[in-house]
Structure 1
Amino acid sequence: MKDKDLKRLVYDKYSQIAARNEKSTCCCSGADKTEVYNIQTGDYSELKGYEQDADLGLGCGVPTKFAGLKPGDTVVDLGSGAGNDCFVARAEVGESGTVIGVDFSEAMIDKARNNAAKRSYSNVEFRQGDIEEMPVNGNSVDVVISNCVLNLLPSKDKIFHEIFRVLKPGGHFCISDVVTIGTMPETLRGAAEMYVGCIAGAIPKNEYMDKILDAGFVSLDVVKETPIEIPDEILSEYLTAEETEQFKRGGSPVFSVTVVGTKSECGCKSGCCS
């Protein structure tokens, strides 16, 4: 599929999810089949600022837990959905901080804005836009967070350069995402539902890390890594019984990782001041 078609696929699916009121789970049973909307939702329930009605269960980690947020920080959440990570971030940065959520889906933006308005949050805002061309000024953000969104983007190189652009010198990001370690069957990679389910768009871990470093970040740390087990009922839709058994025997090639990367204090790309 072309990049614009993949984006439309993601836009349509997540706009449909935004229109629903219930939280998604790893595999949601529809009337006719099981669909993948997410793969491994982190538990936010013990975090300060958590709002259950803003948690659609679409993540693969808890980046706000590892983001090192401080009072007064300006934070941008990429793929902010119904506002879950933004509200948790707000509890960390306090009234003196600012939280900006960016999402491609207008339906998600509307849902997040309604959630913020119900709580009279004055320092949380949501902007509709493509995070490959972020509606955020350069050198203006202390921390960028994102939860299981970047693997949905066709141009991952571009988004890491965008993250670098908006961060202040010395700023950092904390991203939970999906990567592969090993080989994934082409039938899974080619399935549209597996793409919007955050699996088919994942790239090898080493390639993912290289793209971050190529964007100019001076340090990179994987703070959490967890294998993701794809349920048998999902695999059976795309693989034969023999292929499913072989896939499982080799161990999961799909992992959730939470990564922290830092922009240099001088604001230069890695190595340019050495």
Structure 2
Amino acid sequence: MTATDPTPSSTVLANVQEYYGKILSSTKDLKTSACCTSAAPHPLIRAALKKVPAEVTDRYYGCGNPIPLGIEGLTVLDLGCGTGRDVYIAAGLVGEKGEVIGVDMTDEQLKVARDALPAFAKQFTYTPRVKFAKAYIENLDAIVPANSIDLCISNCVINLSPDKEAVLRGVYNALKEGGEMYFSDVYCDRRMPEALVGDKILYGECLSGALYINDFVRLCHKVGFTDPRALSSAPIELRDPAIAELCGNIKFYSITYRLFKLPSLETLCEDYGQVATYLGTIPGHTHAYELDDHHTFVTGKPVLVCGNSADMVGRTWLGKHFKVDGDRSVHFGAFDCAPVPGGSSSSPAAGGCC
């Protein structure tokens, strides 16, 4: 498949292709921690990772762990899949009835991903449903049918796009109603100066293309993701002195966000007297489930939630793992946005109605 240029920013895309296809030969070549995962993945993710061929993991440039557990049977789309590390992890989790599609624009990385498929597949008693497509993530409509995806993941890629609105809009269109975009990326605490945006190394290191957090939230609202929820956040270390000097006081973060395609979501938390109870049925989350950085549901314990949270756990792929009591027939006013006990609201990430 030939990737067609969807934007006038072809120079930016060409620079990214060169950086990840020809300049970087392994993770060791990176100059910052922006494209390095800081937190240890869940044991079930680590177990799935053991089945991923070494030639794939050697060229991994992600910044988080954007693969939720409990996704058996889902159709998953990975944006900017690179050599396919997260595609292969997800393929191990979705099982025989699920499917994973990896999209990338870089020939060198896609070759590694496709060449690894036979070695990966022979570890299973069934044939994993995995495929890779060459395309620009700004042009998803050309390769992914509307309303066909249950879960979209992405790992430190959208910051590299010159048209982030087109990416998010394409994801929104591709997702089924109740589907989710669950992804990690690089964000900053202010708008990037234009002089830095044009720096090829800073862009390739996932820094100068990073979105200011509040602008990202505004963009989510514009395309239909009304209530973006931050799950986790970690500061990014600028290890190269020259890069640190260029960036000055700008602070960068790796943040994992959850965006649900639910037309019912509101921009602010509203109280309808609804109660959600986690059933403890998601593999790896027997005792509790963390919806975001300030909602942790203890198994079997009813929790009063806003209308948005009720729909996120009750009307999405998470629905079979939760019991939600009540509806939106009676409105009791604004919902008290204090964090649910057990959650954490220390993240710098904006967004989330509560």
TM-score (norm 1): 0.81
Distance in 1, Cα, partners of 2:23 & 2:93? 28
- Name the residue aligned to 1:213: 221
Superposed displacement of residue 3, structure 1 = 1.1
- Name the residue aligned to 1:112: 113
Superposed displacement of residue 184, structure 1 = 5.3
Gaps of 5+ in 1: 29-34
Distance in 2, Cα, partners of 1:45 & 1:216? 30
Amino acid at match of 2:128: S
1:59–1:148 Cα contact (<8 Å) kept:
yes
Amino acid at match of 1:7: L
> For the structure 1 residues 209 and 159, does the alpha-carbon distance in structure 2 shift closer, same or farther, using more than 3 Å as the test?
same
Gaps of 5+ in 2: 1-7, 122-126, 267-327, 329-354
> For the structure 1 residues 185 and 132, does the alpha-carbon distance in structure 2 shift closer, same or farther, using more than 3 Å as the test?
closer
Q: Which residues in structure 2 correspond to 1:236-251 (within 5 Å)?
A: 239=246, 247=248, 250=249
SS of aligned partner of 1:217:
coil
Distance in 2, Cα, partners of 1:138 & 1:175? 20
Superposed displacement of residue 44, structure 1 = 4.8
Pick one of 11, 14, 36 that aligns with 1:8. Answer: 14
- Render the CA deviation track for 1:129-155: whole Å, top value 9, x for unaligned: 011111211100000000000000011
> For the structure 1 residues 235 and 17, does the alpha-carbon distance in structure 2 shift closer, same or farther, using more than 3 Å as the test?
closer
Distance in 2, Cα, partners of 1:69 & 1:128? 28
Confirm whether residue 74 of structure 1 aligns to residue 75 of structure 2: yes
Distance in 1, Cα, partners of 2:189 & 2:179? 29
The higher radius of gyration belongs to 2
SS of aligned partner of 2:47:
coil
- Render the CA deviation track for 1:215-259: whole Å, top value 9, x for unaligned: 1124321001111121143426x64xxxx8xx3xx5x51111100
Distance in 2, Cα, partners of 1:213 & 1:183? 18
Pick one of 12, 25, 40 that aligns with 2:36. Answer: 40
> For the structure 1 residues 105 and 232, does the alpha-carbon distance in structure 2 shift closer, same or farther, using more than 3 Å as the test?
closer
- Name the residue aligned to 1:254: 252
Distance in 2, Cα, partners of 1:48 & 1:209? 34
Identity of aligned residues (%): 30
- Render the CA deviation track for 1:160-203: whole Å, top value 9, x for unaligned: 00000100011001110011113656654432100011001112
Distance in 1, Cα, partners of 2:69 & 2:261? 15
1:218–1:270 Cα contact (<8 Å) kept:
yes
> For the structure 1 residues 82 and 70, does the alpha-carbon distance in structure 2 shift closer, same or farther, using more than 3 Å as the test?
same
- Render the CA deviation track for 1:68-119: whole Å, top value 9, x for unaligned: 4421100000000111101111121111100000001122111111111222
SS of aligned partner of 1:49:
helix
2:33–2:236 Cα contact (<8 Å) kept:
no
RMSD across aligned positions (CA)? 2.5
Compare relative contact order (CA 8 Å, sep 6+) and give the higher one, 1 or 2: 1
Distance in 2, Cα, partners of 1:216 & 1:170? 13
TM-score (norm 2): 0.64
Superposed displacement of residue 37, structure 1 = 8.8
1:36–1:193 Cα contact (<8 Å) kept:
no
Distance in 2, Cα, partners of 1:215 & 1:81? 26
Confirm whether residue 194 of structure 1 aligns to residue 192 of structure 2: no
1:180–1:202 Cα contact (<8 Å) kept:
yes
Distance in 2, Cα, partners of 1:73 & 1:104? 24
Amino acid at match of 1:180: C
Distance in 1, Cα, partners of 2:137 & 2:33? 20
SS of aligned partner of 2:48:
coil
